């Protein structure tokens, strides 16, 4: 491997000598101290992978000398040290690898050529649903149902673990991928064959950024890009702008890390940080524990950044020690960080940034975010007014019939608009942080002591991100208090945060639907997009775990918890939130007594072994997977059918029809929902035709290994609005090739166009593809026959995923939109000027009356490598041809 700067040198740690690529080799020509922490990680990556072709001396020099105020428009390569997966997005990755093993044999290669070339670790966390809650046996019952539903998927993953090299799976009911990552998987500094280098990772989940909190550069990518990284392909990226966030002060009494991250999310969304790195620095870092930092880093997708990174410092080492890492590894981390200029102290010189924002921790106030977007922060004192404003807007489209009389589980009550029907302590965002979990437990203890009870219409759940949480809550004596309020452990997985909230009790769900009630969910998650948490819950608020408990007691968001009582105690007196809220000192004392390294060591001692259910899954070891044509979970995808060794090149797109005209902030949940499969939907009908009963439908997310389900689910979200079908909510469109057809599901319309060999286009507004790093949002789009998406702007991951699936991403010229251009979806569209390297093309949109609108669109294929992928028909085809060649 080429090394233009003679950067490889040695470092002694203890009694052992290691090799590393020294950034100091560049210091004679470049002032490295001025570079952001994240740039130093990228720079080391370039130094280590310099080969004169994919990574050149010029790449290194450009990055090392970059002007942060005017970042050069140059793409560089980045090769992550490892890849992490969760099962919803990970199963399709392994399905694709299995399909590639079959396909490479068709092209004359060997199945064994298809293997991950770097460590790949999959954590099964997305499959458990909250079917049972509020009882001591809820955890076991949910786990049993989970295994019954997912036997085929889990058997497939066991095959992958046996057949594929460099692939490990963390079994179900262990924890959430990002929490397991920071508590166990993350190395911070990697060691391989005596070579030290920074830990870094790609993950098939947008919240992979959580690991940024302990100094590891990583971010979410689509499954397609993750597969490329697994198979040794560097990821091409434009040199990013870096927005610095200077942190000062200390959190005030009563403020939590959740309040802080919701404030940061609001601040950065307003600044605009899409496709940018965010880096935290300043004296206030000394007052932020690693768990607090990881909470902030976790929500980088919500504030729109590629990453939200913190440097390595003494607090990082404290966290590694607390979570049971060995002292040799901790010594390596410190020595390497110090010698590479990656070590932070309060006296460290401040780097240069593209822009700097300021956060004073002392000004952070108790907050929630909602009711439909995580960046819409609302002060706790303003939640009632916020809910009422949103409720009034809902009434214009869907008037409520008012309170419903409900009898459920022996209780009779009036279910009203604003009722909190789901209160969930969920998500790695907050359950990774002992201070807010202990805080929730202390609040519960005080509530129980005063005689408060959870309202009978509230579905409560506690779903920790790792088993360590349960152990320290037990040790602190707080788990029983949470259970007394219905917050029993329901599973170790993402649950409500990703829409796996399970069914509401039948009488409650029926009342909501019949009376068109606008009810609420309060969850300690990171996302609250429309239709995500539960399809019948229209108002969703993100909150800290203590506030989740408080809202379960109060039972409504149509209430001001800062002024109105949560309820009455056993003495008949009003109880207010201030009566229950624990002090920071109470929390710190409880955390110090209950949380220690022994808990982490015991929890992760045999983490890959799994329980008796996992071990009972039988699997036959073989190089290629034996596909079952009857399976409704795992099918061989059609990406490589008829594929030749020669790439097809860039083909013109003409005579295209519009499948949908969509608005702003269309999320990957809108495009490819993860939750419940409706019986009368195209996917539901497919399952019914294959003998699957409704109670066994499971979720879209669990069936991502079957393209037949997923393409039918594309654009199937019940909340999506297509301007081509005004007044009709849901994933529907019209077939316009000839006489206008009726309003039908988008899948059915797309299949009619496909049968007529008519290419399709989607028109959209701002922030198209925001949300999860969901590769099926791009895969499904491609399988429906969509050749191009024209939007006002894209979220980073989805744009890359579209390119990776051979779909052309285009942006309207700034100031223009489908609305301003008069596009209504009835047009026939031709594209002129689509060729490799082009930055824009002309779009000709002709209406039925012959009138045409011609406009420019920006081509959002950003790098030479992406153009290569696009010419091959997608990144999977590119990689397969590379291996076969």
For the beta carbon of residue 651, count every other beta carbon within 10 angstroms: 12
What does residue 18 show for φ and ψ, rounded to 5 degrees? Answer: -125, 160
**Per-residue pLDDT at 814:** 96
d(CA 793, CA 816): 11
pTM: 0.87
Collapse the DSSP code of 661 into the 3-class scheme (helix H, G, I; strand E, B; otherwise coil) and give the result. strand
629: number of Cβ within 10 Å: 6
Longest dimension (CA), the chain: 81
Tell me what pLDDT residue 820 has: 97
pLDDT of residue 664: 96
Give the mean pLDDT of the chain.
Answer: 95
> What are 429's two structure tokens?
């965002």
Query: Which stretch of DSSP H or E encloses residue 57?
Result: helix 57-64
Residues sharing a CB contact under 8 Å with residue 127, sequence separation 6 or more, in sequence order: 87, 88, 146, 149, 150, 153, 172, 493, 500, 701, 702
DSSP-derived letter for residue 276 is: -
Helix (H) or strand (E) holding 13: strand 8-13
For residue 396, what are the contacts with CB-CB under 8 A and spacing of at least 6? none
pLDDT in tens, 327-345: 999 999 999 999 999 999 9
Res 1 pLDDT > 60: no
Using the predicted structure, report yes or no on whether residue 865 has a pLDDT greater than 90: no
Q: 463 by DSSP, 3-state: which? A: coil
The pLDDT score that the predictor gives to residue 54 is 84
So what's the pLDDT on residue 773?
A: 63
- Contact assessment for residue 783 and residue 776, using Cβ atoms and an 8 Å cutoff: no
Whole-angstrom distance, CA of residue 91 vs CA of residue 699: 14
Listed residue (452, 534, 547, 459) closest to 717, CA to CA: 534
* pLDDT score, position 389: 97
3-class state of residue 190 by DSSP: strand
Task: Check pLDDT > 80 for residue 790.
Answer: yes
Residue 223 clears pLDDT 60, i.e. is over it: yes
Res 53 pLDDT > 90: no
Q: Do residues 719 and 656 touch, judged by C-beta distance below 8 A?
A: no
**What was the pLDDT predicted at 673?**
77
Range 13-40 average pLDDT: 96
Q: How confident is the model at residue 219 (pLDDT cuts 50, 70, 90)?
A: very high
- pLDDT (tens digit, 9 = 90+) per residue, 543-577? 999 999 999 999 999 999 999 999 999 999 999 99
| Residue among 756, 698, 734, 755 nearest 826 (CA) | 734
Q: Over 70: is that where the pLDDT of 2 sits? A: no
pLDDT above 70 as % of the chain? 100
Task: Enumerate the β-bridge partners of residue 541.
Answer: 522
- CA 160-166-169 angle, 5° bins: 50
Q: Based on C-alpha coordinates, what's the Rg of the chain?
A: 26
Residue bearing tokens 């930092």: 293
Check residue 490 and give its pLDDT: 98
User: Any bridge partners for residue 461, and if so which?
Assistant: 424
Q: What are phi and psi of 473, to 5 degrees?
A: -65, -40
> How far from chain centre, in Å, is Cα 455?
31
**232 burial via Cβ count (<10 Å: 0-12, 13-18, 19+):** middle
In angstroms, the CA 417 to CA 401 distance is 9
Q: Where are the alpha helices (DSSP H) in 164-311?
A: 177-180, 223-230, 257-271, 290-298, 300-303
The whole-angstrom separation of Cα 874 and Cα 867 is: 9
Alpha-carbon distance 418 to 551, whole Å? 11
Residue 614 C-alpha from the chain's centroid: 26
Mean pLDDT across 756-784: 92
Q: Which SS3 state, helix, strand or coil, does residue 131 take?
A: coil
- What average pLDDT does range 19-36 have in this prediction? 95
Q: Is the pLDDT of residue 531 over 90?
A: no
pLDDT of 733 higher than 90: yes
The DSSP line for 541-556 is: EE--HHHHHHHHHH-B
Residue 426 contacts residue 495 (beta carbons within 8 Å): yes
Is omega for the bond preceding 371 within 30 degrees of 0, making it cis? yes
Q: How far is CA 225 from CA 172, 528, 641, 874, in A?
A: 25, 26, 21, 10
Task: Decide if pLDDT at 416 tops 90.
Answer: yes
Per-residue confidence (pLDDT) for residue 245, from 0 to 100: 98
List, for residues 439-482, the tens digit of each pLDDT value: 999 999 999 999 999 999 999 999 999 999 999 999 999 999 99
The confidence score (pLDDT) of residue 772 equals: 73
pLDDT given at position 676: 82
* Distance from C-alpha of 458 to C-alpha of 409, rounded to nearest angstrom: 12
CA–CA separation, 206 and 201 (whole Å): 12
In our burial notation (b when 16+ CB lie closer than 10 A, e otherwise), range 356-385 reads bbebebeebebbbbbbbbbbbbbebeebbe
pLDDT of residue 224: 84
CA 723 remoteness from chain centre: 28
Between the alpha carbon of residue 96 and those of residues 79, 224, 347, 559, the distances in Å are: 21, 9, 49, 49
State residue 775's pLDDT score.
86
**Measuring CA to CA, how many Å separate 561 from each of 247, 368, 788?**
29, 12, 48
Range with the poorest average pLDDT among 389-403, 664-678, 829-843: 664-678
Residues 6+ apart with CB under 8 A from 792: 664, 764, 765, 766, 768, 811, 812, 817
798, 768 contact by CB (below 8 A):
yes
Q: Is 461 left (phi over 0), alpha (psi -120 to 50) or beta?
A: beta
**At 198, phi and psi to the nearest 5?**
-65, 135
Please give the structure tokens belonging to residue 334: 């410190």
Is 305 in contact with 38 (CB distance < 8 Å)?
no
String of DSSP letters for 772-832: S--THHHHHHHHTTEEEEEES-B-HHHHHHHHHTTPEEEEEPTT--TTTTT--S--EEEEE
């Amino acid at each position: 491997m080429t090394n233009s700067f003679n950067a490889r040198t040695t470092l002694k740690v203890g009694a052992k000598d290691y090799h590393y690529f020294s950034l100091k080799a560049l210091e004679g020509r470049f002032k490295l101290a001025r570079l952001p922490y994240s740039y130093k990680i990228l720079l080391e990556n370039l130094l280590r992978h310099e080969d004169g072709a994919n990574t050149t001396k010029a790449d290194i020099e450009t990055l090392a000398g970059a002007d942060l105020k005017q970042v050069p428009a140059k793409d560089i390569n980045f090769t992550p040290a490892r890849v992490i997966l969760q099962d919803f997005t990970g199963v399709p990755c392994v399905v694709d690898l299995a399909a590639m093993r079959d396909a490479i044999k068709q092209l004359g290669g060997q199945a064994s050529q298809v293997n991950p070339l770097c460590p790949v670790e999959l954590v099964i966390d997305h499959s458990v649903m909250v079917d049972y809650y509020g009882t001591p046996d809820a955890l076991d019952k949910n786990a049993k149902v989970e295994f019954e539903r997912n036997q085929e998927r889990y058997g497939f993953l066991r095959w992958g673990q046996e057949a594929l090299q460099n692939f490990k799976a963390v079994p179900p009911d262990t924890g959430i991928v990002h929490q397991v990552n920071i508590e166990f998987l993350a190395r911070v500094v990697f060691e391989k064959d005596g070579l030290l280098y920074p830990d870094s990772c790609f993950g098939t989940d947008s919240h992979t950024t959580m690991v940024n909190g302990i100094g590891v550069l990583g971010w979410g990518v689509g499954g397609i890009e993750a597969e490329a990284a697994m198979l040794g392909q560097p990821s091409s990226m434009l040199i990013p702008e870096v927005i610095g966030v200077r942190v000062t002060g200390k959190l005030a009494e009563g403020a939590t890390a959740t309040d802080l991250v919701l404030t940061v999310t609001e601040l950065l969304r307003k600044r605009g940080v899409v496709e940018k790195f965010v880096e935290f620095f300043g004296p206030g870092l000394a007052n932020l524990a690693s768990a607090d930092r990881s909470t902030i880093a976790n929500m980088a997708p919500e504030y729109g950044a590629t990453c939200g990174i913190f440097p390595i410092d003494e607090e990082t080492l404290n966290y590694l020690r607390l979570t049971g890492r060995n002292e040799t590894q901790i010594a390596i981390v410190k020595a390497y960080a110090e010698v590479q200029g990656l070590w932070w102290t309060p006296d460290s010189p401040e780097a240069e940034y593209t822009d700097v924002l300021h956060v004073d921790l002392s000004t952070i106030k108790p907050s929630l975010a909602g009711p439909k977007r995580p960046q819409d922060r609302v002060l706790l004192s303003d939640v009632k007014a916020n809910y009422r404003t949103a409720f009034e807007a809902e009434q214009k489209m869907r008037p409520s019939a008012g309170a419903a009389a409900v009898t459920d589980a022996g209780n009779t009550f009036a279910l009203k608009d604003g009722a909190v029907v789901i209160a969930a302590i969920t998500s790695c965002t907050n359950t990774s942080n002992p201070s807010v979990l202990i805080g929730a437990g202390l609040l519960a203890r005080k509530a129980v002591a005063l005689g408060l009870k959870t309202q009978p219409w509230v579905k409560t759940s506690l779903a920790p991100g790792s088993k360590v949480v349960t152990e320290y809550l037990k040790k602190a004596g707080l788990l029983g208090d949470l259970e007394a309020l219905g917050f029993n452990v329901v599973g170790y997985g993402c649950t409500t945060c990703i829409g796996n909230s399970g069914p509401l009790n039948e009488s409650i769900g029926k009342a909501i639907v019949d009376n068109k009630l606008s009810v609420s969910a309060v969850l300690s998650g990171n996302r609250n997009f429309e239709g995500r948490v539960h399809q019948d819950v229209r108002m969703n608020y993100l909150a800290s775990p203590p506030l989740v408990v408080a809202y379960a007691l109060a039972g409504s968001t149509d209430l001001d918890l800062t002024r109105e009582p949560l309820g009455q105690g056993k003495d008949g007196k009003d109880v207010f939130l201030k009566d229950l809220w624990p002090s920071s000192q109470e929390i710190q004392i409880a955390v110090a007594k209950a949380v220690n390294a022994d808990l982490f060591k015991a929890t992760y001692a045999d983490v890959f072994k799994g329980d008796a259910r996992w071990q009972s899954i039988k699997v036959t070891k073989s190089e290629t997977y034996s596909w079952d044509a009857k399976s409704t979970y795992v099918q061989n995808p059609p990406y490589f059918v008829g594929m030749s060794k020669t790439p097809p090149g860039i083909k013109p797109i003409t005579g295209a029809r519009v499948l949908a005209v969509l608005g702003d902030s269309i999320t990957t949940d809108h495009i490819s929902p993860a939750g419940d499969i409706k019986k009368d939907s195209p996917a539901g009908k497919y399952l019914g035709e294959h003998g699957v009963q409704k109670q066994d439908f499971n979720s879209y997310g669990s069936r991502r290994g079957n393209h037949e389900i997923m393409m039918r689910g594309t654009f199937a979200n019940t909340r999506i609005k297509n301007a081509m079908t005004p007044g009709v909510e849901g994933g529907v469109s019209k077939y316009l090739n000839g006489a206008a057809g009726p309003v039908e599901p988008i899948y059915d319309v797309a299949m009619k166009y496909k049968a007529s060999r008519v290419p399709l286009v989607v028109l959209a507004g701002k922030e198209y593809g925001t949300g999860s790093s969901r590769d099926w949002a791009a895969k499904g789009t491609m399988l429906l026959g969509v050749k191009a998406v024209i939007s006002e702007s894209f979220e980073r991951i989805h744009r890359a995923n579209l390119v990776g699936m051979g779909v052309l991403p285009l942006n309207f010229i700034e100031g223009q939109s489908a609305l301003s251009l008069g596009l209504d979806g009835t047009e026939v569209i031709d594209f002129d000027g689509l060729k490799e390297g082009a930055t824009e093309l002309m779009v000709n949109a002709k209406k039925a009356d012959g009138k045409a609108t011609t406009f420019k669109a920006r081509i959002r294929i950003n790098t030479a490598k992406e153009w290569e992928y696009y010419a091959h028909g997608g990144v999977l085809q590119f990689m397969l041809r590379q291996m076969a060649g």
